[in-house]
Chains A and B, each alone.
Chain A
Amino acid sequence: MAKITWIKEFGKRVYLTFKLWRMVLISIVFLSIVSGTNLLFFLPSAMRWTLALVYVLLAEIMVFSIVRLITGSAGQIISSVFYNRKHKPEKRYFPEVKQIAKKMGMEYDKPILITENPSIKSPFTNVFTRNITFPAFWIRKFHRTENDAIIGHELAHIKYGLKFIGELLLVTFVTWGFALLLAAITWSLGIYVIAELAFMMLILSYILRRNELRADWEGPNANATTPEALISVFEYLKAECKRDDGSETHPPLQARIKRLIRLLDSDRQHQDD
């Protein structure tokens, strides 16, 4: 029993630690190319089987992470669509939202949707409908200035929404190009599909994480919100979660805090000058 727990813990660590997870994806792409070009047949039988087993294990980790991505970030949007049909979210106009948006160089005149949906654990933005949804407990949990900082973060997602959609389209085209290349050299349909997914996840994860960092930066950089408030929110969330490893879509909180503290230091130097 203890052994199974240890294996489970190890699997979790491999999966959760982003650097290792990225290595998993890179290994899949590499192994797929090796297998696809029939290089595998020149290896001794035992080595071939070991490689095949490693490949299956890596593929499983990847599929698990894709499921988590769908049930996590995309799941929030899907869940809110179904939940909102029965329970209409409260539409609340915050006067600060318009001011923050104006400072960030954009127009935003929509109410913030406050939901009681228990499956929504954090605020999120639907880039297509330009709606910002907040869980009700979140408003009570943080101070006014901190909620403003979060709104600034979400508004940045809307501001760069079109750019983000463009980036997603680019990922689709690049993956398609890679798939065509792979189709020319691969003999197995399984390898072809897994490698294509791994390659897509690799680029997608980079874009999603960069999108988050850009949103963190945007509000304080436009003097619309303060970096201190956003750092404060991240510190609170860090204390709440057991391990801060980040996810496929979000960088670790510690890394985001460090990046914002650099902004505080640069501001301070500017004031001293």
Chain B
Amino acid sequence: MVTVKYCSNVVTAMKIIDEGTAQIVMHPVRFKILQCVREASGPLFVEQIAKAVEEHPRLVSHHLDVLQDIGLIDCKYGLTKAKGSTRGVAVRLCSPTPKLTEVFHDIAEAVAEVK
């Protein structure tokens, strides 16, 4: 798996890759969300991601909408046991798509170019 750290080089690389998807991915919060989703062993739901990236759940939800719109993550509604409830709660489960791996590969290449 290609690992990319969000740093000033990434911001510089962003200026090189003048393409819609890369520009949208280079948002600091979105970048953290994508890394979180990529590194997770299974699908994650909004509250879990919000906790991991330390952002407001509604803000995370907005970013997930954007990322789903450009096809970087796949969202499905499923039942899970959340917040200690015994019954299943309907949550939005997010998992990475193959396009995400490609985009991260491109960014890694662009960062290497900047370095």
Contacts and interface: CB of A to CB of B under 8 A. Distances in A.
Interface of A: 140-146, 226, 228-229, 231-232, 235-236, 239-240, 261, 264-265, 267-268
B11 A239 contact: yes
B99 interface: no
Contacts of B18: 140
Main DSSP-derived SS at the A contact region: helix
B59 interface: yes
Interface centre among A140, A143, A228, A267 (most CB of B within 10 A): A143
Given A140-B20, A261-B56, A228 B62 contact: yes
A145 B66 contact: yes
A226 B62 contact: yes
Contacts of B58: 228, 264, 267-268
A143 B24 contact: yes
A144 B70 CA distance: 11
Nearest to B19: A140
B68 to A, nearest CB: 11
Contact of A228 (B11, B23, B27, B61): B61
B30 to A, nearest CB: 8
B23 to A, nearest CB: 5
26 contacts: A140-B18, A140-B20, A141-B23, A143-B66, A144-B69, A145-B65, A226-B62, A228-B58, A228-B59, A229-B62, A232-B27, A232-B59, A232-B62, A235-B27, A235-B28, A236-B27, A236-B28, A239-B11, A239-B27, A239-B28, A240-B11, A264-B56, A264-B59, A265-B56, A267-B58, A268-B58
B45 to A, nearest CB: 17
Contacts of A146: 66
Nearest to A265: B56
B40 to A, nearest CB: 22
Contacts of A228: 58-59, 61-62
B38 interface: no
